[in-house]
Structure 1
């Protein structure tokens, strides 16, 4: 018996048809999405390429799937931009740390270069000025730096011990090239690679140590005495001062026979200095001036006593304090007044930080032959501590080097460093020009630039500043840390400096 048509049955069948259509559409869409989301990607890790299949939408996700551990300074590029596309190429270059030399300053540098010649080429691509860059190879047998190939494409000129020769096969590490030339390195010898036009030079500098003995002058001191028998204001020399002498022994470091640095090993005073003694007439009081010279001797003595005390505090102590600014710690405005009673002329230790330019007066330390000639305090700068305890002129403006890679860099040093770091990311030509303009606008390439309102800091103007800590703890003082983070930020956010500059032009920030 056939089922009778009813409104309820019609509604039920209609609902079944709608649900079936939705399910079929969902299945079709899912199948289509799965087909289009499935990608074949070429993954290149340090020159080794493998073909992988993935549903990942970004290179970061793909690398996580493949278990590739990416370090802070590694460089990852994707041929299809931010979104991973089918047939894209993802390239991973693992960075290692070597040391470059920027106009005489050694700077640790993270690089992905496969040869020293290539690393020098990075700097040449973006540098149009005269900044001299070399690659320092600290240990020729180290697999990361010493094992670096010198020149992939040609010969290498070797300079050592005053002799020049050519190694025809530059596609070798420094140790192999030096061994082939019979050059044996001592423990402290320095090996570096530099470019001279099209010539790649492997240079060896010999480091030796020796002692030098010198004779130095010990300036005499001056003492002042009060003589009531002299007229007021009159002075005369009672004993002529004579300079002494001391013998100083220095430990000297020579590089290729030229003195590079020295430290004071010992000093001995061979001839004592003789103080100069100056007598000064005592100042007369108003009472003395108005009374007879032959009046009460007791009154005269009292006046003499008062006069002597006044002269001691106003003149003599002023002289004694004239050379005693050495204990001023980090104070820009320390100056000796006439009533400075600091007679401890042996306190030349402790000049730290601050501007100690006022301490050049230490050449006048009285009564203390151990501190004479100590004019080096005028060179104390930055955060270093100048331990000048009792040394006679041996500091001569030397400063300790703070811990950091590119500490308190000049604009030229910062741009030289950034030139190589940007070039190894492929940012040359217009991209480099845009980076220079971008950071000129943001900070004028000053490591200490700070926006008072936003708190943005450093050359790339990181906001907040501690974002840069991922690239180094000294981010507030180290231009290399700031630049490394800034380039990483541009790569992650905009892809290139030219796009970051375009955004800055349109919006006013990047």
Structure 2
């Protein structure tokens, strides 16, 4: 009978030992959340510390990487273990020189907070603040400023022409001088890091209305001189001088004589027949180095006559 009791005691002791061992293993097993680079996963582990968990999961930390809690922290059921990998990024703020930063911040916004950088309301952050950090990422904070700029510009006047049959075709007379108006334009100018990138016209205000010019325009194509009607194509107002014999032929090869005049061929082609007020009929057969633009040089018989002619403004009719 005593032997049977001893056997029962031994069996009961074994069962208690197994129960204790099972309870111990169950106590050591725990489920924790492991977050690496922002990604969560549930892990069932028998590790007792954070360091053992990382070793168990094959996670090696580099010098600038961080883990929370610390490696010697004991694991408990439901604990969150966060591994933050360090990234080497480049940051440029405004016109400052680009700098290289090693950080465990998860995204661009956290990095800027870490660096005590607060973008203004209109500043631009590239890439977007929510962008996840990766090695080699280039981050730029663009300082945006706006200024209002006022600019006064001329408003051109128009010209109104009044035909006149009392004036030769080709001639004009100003009846009223024109005057430009004045406009004030207001621009919103946008700068990125001090450089203008956009200009928006926000307002236009007329300070002075333009005053139109009024010009009388000749339409007549005939004149009467000495009882003779002279038909012409158009007339020019020119500065006239006179010259006499020089001993040379004209530019067209003709001998100089009364009625031969020198002109600028760009204004009056050589060979053109003319009528010159105060001189008479003439032909453009010569040119000269000083005869440029609306100038004409008239041949006369003597130096005395040339001196008496002097310099005059005349009407020249192109026949």
Instruction: Provide TM-score, normalisation by structure 1.
Output: 0.24
Instruction: Judging by fraction of residues, say which structure has more strand.
Output: 2
Instruction: Judging by fraction of residues, say which structure has more helix.
Output: 1
